[in-house]
Amino acid sequence: MERSSSVSLGLVLLGCSVMAAMLMGSSNAMLHVVGGRQGWDVPDNVTFYQDWAKPRTFGVGDQLVFPYRPGSNNLLIVKKKDYEACGMSDPIDIYYMGPTILNLTAVGDYYYVSSSGRHCEYGQRLHITVGKAPGSSGAKLPVKLN
């Protein structure tokens, strides 16, 4: 893992994402950059992404940005059982051309994993709950536009 270059990649992606969100022009939408400076990669420990999600809320209309390099990682939306078992038997969606920007369009629980190598076992998985209220961001990238 090249930590410093992935940080600068993250910052570039961040800039692009903020611009994308501004073009979007929606009033209360929040932009969540998954993993903050870590982005979407094998984390330092297995609770990293749940720790990242814990202080935040996610709302319909928000966007999730998964910063990762195409080819070195991927993103699967999976069902709860696959999230818990790091199984990839029944993916809902597969993305591999990072960065991936997802629109949160409906309330519910969402489960994301990487199926690269043993990344999921090493903690590269995220569960969020999307509610009706606009989301918040703890250490943040709130993109609030009028």
Ligand X SMILES: *[C@@H]1O[C@H](CO)[C@@H](O)[C@H](O)[C@H]1NC(C)=O
- Kindly list the residues in this chain that would bind ligand X in the complex (CB under 6 A): 24, 44-45, 47-48, 51, 103
How far is it, in rounded angstroms, from Cα 60 to Cα 62?
A: 6
Write down the least CB distance from residue 90 to ligand X, Å: 21
CA neighbor of 137 nearest in space, from 43, 48, 64: 64
Write down the least CB distance from residue 44 to ligand X, Å: 4
Write down the least CB distance from residue 102 to ligand X, Å: 7
The residue among 95 and 111 lying less far from ligand X, judged by its C-beta, is 95
Write down the least CB distance from residue 24 to ligand X, Å: 4
CA neighbor of 76 nearest in space, from 123, 120, 135, 129: 120
The residue among 36 and 111 lying less far from ligand X, judged by its C-beta, is 36
The residue among 16 and 87 lying less far from ligand X, judged by its C-beta, is 16
The residue among 65 and 78 lying less far from ligand X, judged by its C-beta, is 65
